[in-house]
Amino acid sequence: MSTYYTLLGLEPHATHEAIEAAYQHQREGYDPARVADLDPDMQRLAEARSAEIEQAYRTLHDPQRRQQYDQQIGIAKRTNPNVVARRQLTPRERTMVVIGGLVALGLIVGMWIFTGRGAGVEGQAMGEVNRPAPEFTLQTLDGNEVNLAAYKGKVVLVNFWGTWCEPCQRELPALQAANERYAEQGLVIIGVNLTDDERTQGRSEDDIRSFVAQYQLTYPIALDQDGRVTDSFRVYPLPTSFFIDPQGQIRYVHVGELTLDDIIARFTELQLSAMVNETP
């Protein structure tokens, strides 16, 4: 279930300070200067995501709104000595709260569907771009290093994900299947875990390791410990995947859940394109 808490990468009983920190972290990622050179589809997705984040923050930042929202989504009443007891709502006020809650939930569902993160949503955005992929070297979950530059000459799929992200979980079988079928043919898949966000939610590398083992993933899992690689790729909603051609150019950005057909289509296209360009 998507909530304002999952949108900001928080647990339901997050402190006020944690809400502030998560909001500032998300807001920096959607600075207008960062999305100005994206294609129109990606800009619209970024704007929609930014609107969701602002709505979530306005609700969770205010103690009374947060308590009302928690009741709407079925979270048990929190006991916080810093929150002053409030008077009982009048019948008219209760009616307005219910109406406001329904409107808010409608906005969440609408934004969720628009940005392609709803369960069963078809046709998530696959934007075509042509810009150099940011170089990076990251430690992997097994203690080695992965260097993007080492894979020049191959088609590389860089997939940004987190253990809390349900669409990320749903696409893992497709990523693993593509790795098993096409690794020997030149496809490289790198999963970049947003490890700084994992820590914010109280998860450790051991938790990530258990998650990877559960899904039996064999492609490298890189740990973005400080968020720099995520920022350099201008990642917005999760999951976001980048298809990089053999020349090191990002050719496609896919926002949302990948299917095996998506991966095969892009890999085949970029591989054939590289072969044509090499022909004298």
Give the pLDDT confidence score for residue 38 in this predicted structure: 60
Distances (CA, A) of 248 to 105, 133, 157, 158, 228: 42, 6, 11, 12, 19
Over residues 94-133, the pLDDT tens digits come to 554 444 444 444 444 344 333 333 333 333 456 778 899 9
What the chain holds in terms of domains, given with CATH numbers, is 4-114 (1.10.287.110), 126-278 (3.40.30.10)
Q: What was the pLDDT predicted at 51? A: 79
Q: Is the pTM of this model over 0.85?
A: no
Q: Which of 27-41, 45-59, 118-132 has the highest mean pLDDT?
A: 45-59
Please tell me which residue, 35 or 47, carries the higher pLDDT value.
47
Read off the amino acid at residue 79: T
Predicted confidence at residue 114, as pLDDT, reads: 37
Query: For 102-105, which contacts have Cβ atoms below 8 Å and span 24 or more sequence positions?
Result: 104/55, 104/59, 104/69, 104/72, 105/72
Ranked by mean pLDDT, the top range of 11-15, 33-37, 206-210, 238-242 is: 206-210
For residue range 212-228, list pLDDT tens digits in order: 999 999 999 999 999 99
Tell me how far the alpha carbon of residue 165 is from its chain's centroid.
7
Conformation bin of residue 123: beta by default, left when phi > 0, alpha when psi is -120 to 50:
left
- Rounded to whole angstroms, how far apart are CA atoms 252 and 31? 22
